[in-house]
Amino acid sequence: MTKNELEMLLDEQGQSLSAFCYTIGKSRDAAEEIFQEVCLRLLRKKTAVRIEKNAASYLYRTALNVYRDMCRKAARRPEISIEDADAVEYVSAVAKTEDEYAEYEALYRAIGRLPLRYREVIHLVYFRSISVSGAASVLGVPEGTVKSRLHKARQLLKKELENEDQ
């Protein structure tokens, strides 16, 4: 991909990609690192990438792959972990009252404790408003898998939030 092609793509999808990177990375530093790595990977491609039809899906999938690579790398080096969520910044932007703040913070922390495969579908479908078929395309799994992961994630979140209330 050429620099001009990347610039055009980022003009169109950059804001959305940045928000998605923040959603999966959970901190500004991790989001910036993911975003930069996505851009570098696109620039390293020798052939032109045909993504006009599904540009967002392609970018999200690349960002998700970068995030997974970062998680694997962090697992090998336990002292560096991008899994530690700094929910305060995210929750502050969403909540309007103190009660909402507490609820959103509890929900966000509970999502952060979910296994990666459930966190991914939650972020794609609920935070990024991507359809089940779009999420299946991004994750490279069948639609039924996305639906079952969403169902299981909701069950786990419900149990997690009930345990937190006790």
**Which domains, ranges and CATH numbers included, belong to the chain?**
1-83 (1.10.1740), 85-166 (1.10.10.10)
- Closest by alpha carbon to 1, among 51, 36, 37, 35? 51
Phi, psi of 82 (to 5 degrees): -90, 0
Which pLDDT score, from 0 to 100, does residue 46 have? 63
Q: Determine the Cα–Cα distance for residues 146 and 140; give it in Å rounded to an integer.
A: 10
Q: Determine the Cα–Cα distance for residues 37 and 34; give it in Å rounded to an integer.
A: 5
Which pLDDT score, from 0 to 100, does residue 143 have? 93
10-residue averages of pLDDT along the chain (166 residues): 77 84 82 89 71 74 88 60 44 70 77 85 84 88 94 91 76
Cβ atoms < 10 Å from Cβ of 46: 5
Which pLDDT score, from 0 to 100, does residue 80 have? 31
Helix axes 87-94, 98-112, angle to 10 degrees: 140
Residue at token pair 């309007």: 96
Q: What is the pTM of this model?
A: 0.55
Q: Determine the Cα–Cα distance for residues 27 and 88; give it in Å rounded to an integer.
A: 10
